[in-house]
Amino acid sequence: MRLAGRTLRCVNGYGIGYMTANENLNFGPLILASGSPRRAQLMQEYGYKFVVEVPSPEAECGMCSQESPPELVQRLALQKAADVAPRIARGILIAADTVAHCHGQILGKPRNREHAGEMLRLMSGRVHQVYTGVVVWHRPSDVRFQDVVRTDLRMDSLSDAALEAYLDSEAWEGKAGAFGYQDGLDGVHIVEGEETNVVGLPMPRLQEMLKYMLGLDNP
């Protein structure tokens, strides 16, 4: 199955399979399986009407040192969707997970100010990657699509004053890699990829996945 020139996995309760664009599913409301205000804001800015179901805290964690960044975000996004799915009788779930990756290290959400400073110093003056895993899951059919989107960024060298000012702002809290592209941190440039992916939800790819789920697009 092809989507935007890439293979997209279609999965159901019986394993990996294929869903035709004309398959008749009983669609319901969109459900954003995330407590992230940034993902909700992106959905609103793109004109989607949706409800929010926040995954349990247990579904939000579980990093594994043996996983690559794409494997990690795909698993965690699916983990969040699977946590919310039993609560939904009918509808289309959207779940996502985002991490940064720099110099061989996976950077999730910082534990505290000191940890945030360590992450930012690591990325200072370097190119790094942001990966977001996305799951679109229909209930009750349990047909789902999964994909991972990557964006490459370059962070200019941060002065001590700029770093301390950003840490003082506390804008790093709850954000993969300890910064939000939308926060206006000077010296962060997209090298290749989608801006909304850095914020936490790659909207162009999500739109393609939803169109295919709804049978409005062809592979």
State the amino acid at position 71 in one-letter form. Answer: E
148's enclosing H/E stretch is strand 144-155
First-to-last CA distance in the chain? Answer: 6
* pTM assigned to the model: 0.82
**Where exactly are the structural domains of the chain?**
2-213
User: For residue range 52-93, what is the model confidence (pLDDT) as tens digits?
Assistant: 999 998 887 766 668 999 999 999 999 999 999 999 999 999
CA-based Rg of the chain, rounded to a whole angstrom? 18
Cα atoms in the 13 Å half-sphere on the side-chain side of 25: 26
Tell me the C-alpha distance between 209 and 177, whole Å.
26
Residues serving a catalytic function are 97
The pairing of strands 30-32 and 91-102 is: parallel
Buried b (16+ CB within 10 A) or exposed e, 117-126: bebbebbbee
User: Domain spanning 2-213: which CATH class is it, in words?
Assistant: alpha beta
Q: What would the pLDDT profile of 91-135 be if each residue is shown by its tens digit?
A: 999 999 999 999 999 988 899 999 999 999 999 999 999 999 999
